[in-house]
Structure 1
Amino acid sequence: MAGVPDRLVLLPDGHMGFVEMKAPGKHPRPLQVQRLNQLKQLGFQVFVCDQLDQIGGMLDAIQTA
């Protein structure tokens, strides 16, 4: 399906999140924003990552939710 985030993160105990990976300073395209919003409305954690140093924080957020 077009616009679906690049990564599905699955962690122990059923923790799950979606991550859209972008080049540094880039932003999701309009269709990607629409898909991200749909997933958020369904109650999923959704992230956009444009820097490698963001990964640890995203994993922490997914694990603690």
Structure 2
Amino acid sequence: MNEKLIEKKLRDKVKSLGGIALKLYSAYHIGLPDRLVLMPGGKAAFAEIKTTGKKPTMLQEKAIAELQALGFKALVIDSQERLNKFLEELRNE
């Protein structure tokens, strides 16, 4: 599955659950995940979207590890299965 399709499915599903999936960009912090997902109840998570089989860069892996060390959910989503798992974990928090 390609990155654009996964990203669209993420945005659509998050919206249907009452949340928003904001596109992230920073000129000062390279490697940030693609999306900041904000859900009702103050839940926040980060999603790095990749085409199936592609891996995050070293900078992306570092940024994800930093966010996880701060206590945030930050995951790589590269398939429908990983997307489903990400969304299920958000709902269950």
TM-score by length of 1: 0.90
Aligned to 1:5: 33
Q: CA deviation at 1:53?
A: 3.8
Q: Percent identity?
A: 37
> Over the residues paired in the alignment, what is the CA RMSD in angstroms?
1.1
Q: CA deviation at 1:13?
A: 0.4
Given the alignment, which residue of 42, 54, 57 partners 1:26?
54
- Deviations, residues 12-50 of structure 1 (Å, cap 9, x unaligned): 101111000011101110000000000000000011011
- Deviations, residues 41-65 of structure 1 (Å, cap 9, x unaligned): 0000011011134222211102222
Contact 1:15 1:63 in 2 (8 A): no
**Larger C-alpha radius of gyration, 1 or 2?**
2
Q: Greater relative contact order (Cα 8 A, min sep 6): structure 1 or 2?
A: 1
* Aligned residue-pair number: 65
| Residue ranges of structure 1 left out of the alignment (5+ in a row) | none
Corresponding position: 1:60 with 2:88: yes
TM-score by length of 2: 0.65
Counterpart residue type for residue 52 of structure 1: Q
Corresponding position: 1:36 with 2:36: no
| Residue ranges of structure 2 left out of the alignment (5+ in a row) | 1-28
Counterpart residue type for residue 31 of structure 2: G
